[in-house]
Amino acid sequence: MSSSETGPGGQAHGSVKEYVTGLILSIILTVIPFYLVMSGAGSDTFTVIAIVVAAIAQVLVQMVFFLHMNGSSEQTWLTVSAVYTVFILLFVIVGSLWIFEHLNHNMLMGH
Amino acid sequence: MTALTNDHDLHDHDDHHHHEAEAADRYMFGFWLYIISDCLLFSTLFATYAVMGQSFANGITPHELFDLNFVAVETALLLLSSFTFGMAMLGANVENMAKTKFWLIITALLGLSFLGMEIYEFIHFSHEGATPQTSGYWTSFYSLVATHGLHVTAGLIWMFFLFIHFNRDGFSHENKIRLACLSLFWHFLDIIWICVFSFVYLRGAM
């Protein structure tokens, strides 16, 4: 029966190996940005890019290894709604920054 | 449905499981939609934080206050608690109550330690002159980080009540769904924390 492989919500049950892999990858992706900022090893631009890349990578790692998302056909709605959310997130965050950047710029022109 | 049998009872039994699995799927998807709406809540808080990023109003700056060693310990606690919750889920998969409870207790203790550190940090920051009223920056900082902290608090309360449910009903169908939802919620909180320590603490300490 399918329930031996998938749990509630059609999520795969996972295994110790999967969780340990997720944990180790997460630790690596946490240590790198912390080290870069605390040691000041790289240039500012490089450090910021490294922080963003490591954060995105770690979010993906946890979605795959902890939440067991794999984009399989049983998870179509899960995947579709997740992708939809990412778009809304980008609209809200990038949109806000963009609008306020313009506002700041235009307001300061008068001074 | 592998059992090739004409036994009416057995068929009913399988059917029952099938319905339960479908019901669980619906519950989980509903909870997933809640997680998504929570994501949108956090996205507005992150957007506010980003907009307020430099609005210090001549008050104290995060660069002077943030202690990355402290944040690293907080991060380790929450990441480990996400892992230990996974271990509790593995225990629940094989219906091992002792194992599930053991890992849930470890998870709760890690979550509590995280919360304790966060409250200590807020008190410390306030003493140093960074209160929510200090500047736009600190308002957005406290809104964002404390909202995450409130979610962790809610998760801990949920964990406590789930424990009572487990004591009363063991691995009932409902309790398994509750545990799976809480697991999703807890992992989600760790994912939000990744964004908090990256974009708030690491960026602010630079």
Tokens 């380790």 belong to residue: B76
Asked if A93 lies within 8 A of B205 by C-beta distance, the reply is no
Q: Show residues of chain A in contact with B33, CB under 8 Å.
A: 81
Q: What is the ipTM of this complex?
A: 0.86
B15-44, pLDDT tens digit by residue?
777 787 888 888 889 999 999 999 999 999
Q: Work out the end-to-end distance of chain A between its first and last CA atoms, rounded to an integer number of angstroms.
A: 71
Q: How far apart are CA B145 and CA B151, in angstroms?
A: 10
For residue A2, pLDDT beyond 70: no
Asked if A78 lies within 8 A of B29 by C-beta distance, the reply is yes
A12 strand-pairing partners: A6
Rg, chain B, Cα only: 21
Q: Which of A67, A97, A98 should one mutate to test binding to chain B, selecting the residue with the greatest count of B CBs within 10 A? A: A67
Asked if A85 lies within 8 A of B86 by C-beta distance, the reply is no
Q: Show residues of chain B in contact with A14, CB under 8 Å.
A: 86, 89-90
pTM, whole model, 2 decimals?
A: 0.88
Q: Which of A34, A38, A80 should one mutate to test binding to chain B, selecting the residue with the greatest count of B CBs within 10 A? A: A34
For residue B5, pLDDT beyond 60: no
C-beta separation of B176 from A8 below 8 A: yes
List the Cα angle A85/A87/A88 in 5-degree steps: 65
Q: Mean per-residue pLDDT for B131-137? A: 93
Asked if B187 lies within 8 A of A52 by C-beta distance, the reply is no
pLDDT mean across residues, chain A: 84
pLDDT interval class at A101 (50, 70, 90): confident
A8-47, pLDDT tens digit by residue?
444 456 899 999 999 999 999 999 999 999 998 889 999 9
